[in-house]
Amino acid sequence: MIYLDYNATTPIDSTVRNAMLDCMENHFANPASTTHTLGIKSSFLLDECRETIASLIDASSDNILFTSGASESNNMVLKGVAEYFYSQGPVHFIVSEVEHKCIINQCHYLERRGINVSYAPVNDKGIVTLDAIKKLVNPATKLISVMAANNETGSLMPIKEIADFCLKESILFHSDAAQYIGKLPFSIQDIPVDFLSFSAHKFYGPKGIGGIYFKDKSLLSDSPLIHGGGQEYGLRGGTINLPAVVGMAQAAKITKERVISDLARQNTMKNRFIEQLRADIPDIQFNGCLQQSLPNTINLSLQGIRSRFLMNKLKNKLALSSGSACNSAQQANSHVLTAMGMDDDRIQSSIRLSFGRETTIEQLDTARKYFLDIYQMVNR
């Protein structure tokens, strides 16, 4: 079985697993139990991990908050900011039309509670431009949220431009970087975000752990999602999952060491795959922006071949997806590809391949051969 669904989740790195096992065996004490040495040791370990994770994005550890993953991080930021401004007058948010469902569905919820939300359109490459956003800004705009990279197409959004604009206009800027962190280097010194969401299982860490970079935590303090003890600055009650944090820190350490070399290797593999597939199947369509996209993601449509049919044929050979993992059980057209103006046939033929550190050129060659076999069988 060839795994080409890294954007849904990555396999755990073996050093991450070992670090977590060591933590479970040797640092089981609660980091909040600082009345004894074991608890103090756990709390030191927690601090150390926070620093390692912060350093992945050149942040200070005082600006990192742990959550269960990007869905929770995104909920915490949008709901927190909405609550903060709600009593002060009208509140307007702008998000792109192609955000992950954890943003889109949350915005629908916030709209029912009196927040105005505008959904910025994307172009046919799946990219939202600063101009499209500027047209939607009004005096009540408090927050703009645009993902760093799209999970379905891999398209990269102009988040630096948007962040600079927001800074100038005193509008808060949040970016969901769940797909970006781990695949491309990111520094908050270069891109002045107010909030950034990330998730460990997208960069070879464990599931169920992620975080938020925040510039000013007071903006989130009116509405913790989980009321409880004073953990995580009083913003997220509950005993911290230290083994998962340790795993995420180890994953961050490895990512920092190898993100540049992984990126170069994956870009080469991606370009080779695209070139060869174009030669094999001249009417193949690539969805999204091939130039401005994640190095590991390819979204394509084989004309006249439904993705459900193709994935079913290959389900014991290739792990593929036709969009976001959260939607894979649903039959609805992808909201991302729909927003890009693609017609139903092309959407229903779309396949997402996302590869990673363990993918080899031989595996991509085999995947290409499987596609070609099915294409030739259908077009015989």
Ligand X SMILES: Cc1ncc(COP(=O)(O)O)c(C=O)c1O
Catalytic positions, please?
A: 326
Q: Return the number of the residue (71 or 296) whose C-beta is nearest ligand X.
A: 71
Question: Strands 195-199 and 172-176: what pairing?
Answer: parallel
Report 53-82 residues binding ligand X (CB under 6 A).
69-71
Q: Return the number of the residue (69 or 247) whose C-beta is nearest ligand X.
A: 69
Report 274-333 residues binding ligand X (CB under 6 A).
324-325
Longest distance between any two alpha carbons in the chain, whole Å: 74
DSSP at 276 = H
Distance in Å, CB of 104 to ligand X, minimum: 11
Chain position whose Cβ is nearest to ligand X:
69
> Residue 240: CA atoms inside 13 Å, Cβ hemisphere, count?
33
Joined together, the tokens standing for residue 199 give 């998730």
Distance in Å, CB of 211 to ligand X, minimum: 10
The residues pairing with 149 across neighbouring beta strands, listed in sequence order, are 156
Distance in Å, CB of 25 to ligand X, minimum: 26
Of the chain, the end-to-end C-alpha distance in Å amounts to 27
For residue 10, state whether it binds ligand X (rule: CB under 6 A): no
For ligand X, the binding residue among 100, 183, 352, 357 (CB under 6 A) is: 100
Q: How far is CA 36 from the centre of its chain?
A: 38
Distance in Å, CB of 299 to ligand X, minimum: 13
Distance in Å, CB of 199 to ligand X, minimum: 3
For residue 151, state whether it binds ligand X (rule: CB under 6 A): yes
Contact map string, positions 168 to 207, toward ligand X, x by CB under 6 A: --------x-xx-------------------x--------
b/e 172-181 (16+ beta carbons within 10 angstroms → b): bbbbbbbbbb
Q: Return the number of the residue (71 or 153) whose C-beta is nearest ligand X.
A: 71
Size of the site for ligand X (CB under 6 A): 14
For ligand X, the binding residue among 31, 126, 210, 295 (CB under 6 A) is: 210
SS3 state at 182: coil
DSSP string, 315-344: TTTEE-BSS-GGGTT--SPPHHHHHTT--H
Q: Return the number of the residue (156 or 277) whose C-beta is nearest ligand X.
A: 156
Task: Report the candidate in 236, 20, 246, 33 with the shortest Cα–Cα distance to residue 41.
Answer: 33
Task: Report the candidate in 178, 175, 165, 127 with the shortest Cα–Cα distance to residue 291.
Answer: 127
Residues near ligand X (CB under 6 A): 69-71, 100, 102, 147, 151, 176, 178-179, 199, 210, 324-325
